[in-house]
Amino acid sequence: MRHARTGKKLGRDAAHRRALYANLAGALIEHGRIRTTVTKAKAVKPLAEQMITLGRRGDLHARRQATAVLRSRDVVHKLFAEVAPRFKDRPGGYARIVRIGPRAGDAAEMAYLELVDEEYVASQREERATAAPAVVDEPVEETDDDAAEEPVDEAEAEEPEAEEPEADEDDEPAAEVDQAEDEDK
């Protein structure tokens, strides 16, 4: 029985499983993002993060340990030269799994396993921090002055205001004429 045995078998023997993990982790380091099944992504993510931690250490022993797992000097070189320095200040969590839905052929649940882009994440944090807080319109309480004003007819509010001819000195100002008309109604 397999009680308390961690990890997925993925229908493979041990050698095939190690080769699969090495290939997927190497592809993730080389390309930054891979598309695979959710189960494989969950199985490979810890191994890929361990490799990035080795890359952050940067010593010869770490390089040899990474080569033993990844089996490719080119991938290990990229890991130590390019990928690990991007995560030098990050205390873990170098990869994420983003589900993308079922595969067309067999409906297997697919996902992207991708490296967290620290530069992008940091820039997003800065944008959120520097962005001005949203202005919330608070309800305005009515005062006696507001109640004293007469409501505006909807028809008058929708019509664009036309330019009024200038009033002669003999004529009443236009505002007084409007008030007089309103009082008549």
pLDDT at 126: 72
Burial track 110-137 (b if 16+ CB lie within 10 A, e otherwise): bbebbbeeeeeeeeeeeeeeeeeeeeee
Q: What pLDDT sits at residue 134?
A: 59
pLDDT at 14: 92
Contact of 73 with 79, CB cutoff 8 Å: no
pLDDT of residue 5: 80
Q: What is the pTM of this model?
A: 0.63
Residue 35 forms beta bridges with which residues? 112
Q: What does the pLDDT profile of the chain (185 residues) look like in tens digits?
A: 878 787 889 999 999 999 999 999 999 999 999 999 999 999 999 999 999 999 999 999 999 999 999 999 999 999 999 999 999 999 999 999 999 999 999 999 999 999 998 565 566 567 767 775 655 566 666 666 555 555 555 555 555 555 555 555 555 555 555 555 555 55
pLDDT on residue 182: 57
CATH architecture, range 14-130 = Alpha-Beta Complex (3.90)
pLDDT tens, residue by residue, 77-102: 999 999 999 999 999 999 999 999 99
CA 130 to mean position of chain CA atoms: 17
Predicted local confidence at residue 142, as pLDDT: 60
The confidence score (pLDDT) of residue 85 equals 93
79 Cβ contact list (under 8 Å, min separation 6): 29, 51, 52, 54, 55, 66, 70
Q: Concatenate the DSSP letters of all residues of 118-167 into one string.
A: HHHHHHHHHHHHHSPPPPPPPPPPP-HHHHHSPPPPHHHHHSPPPPPPPP
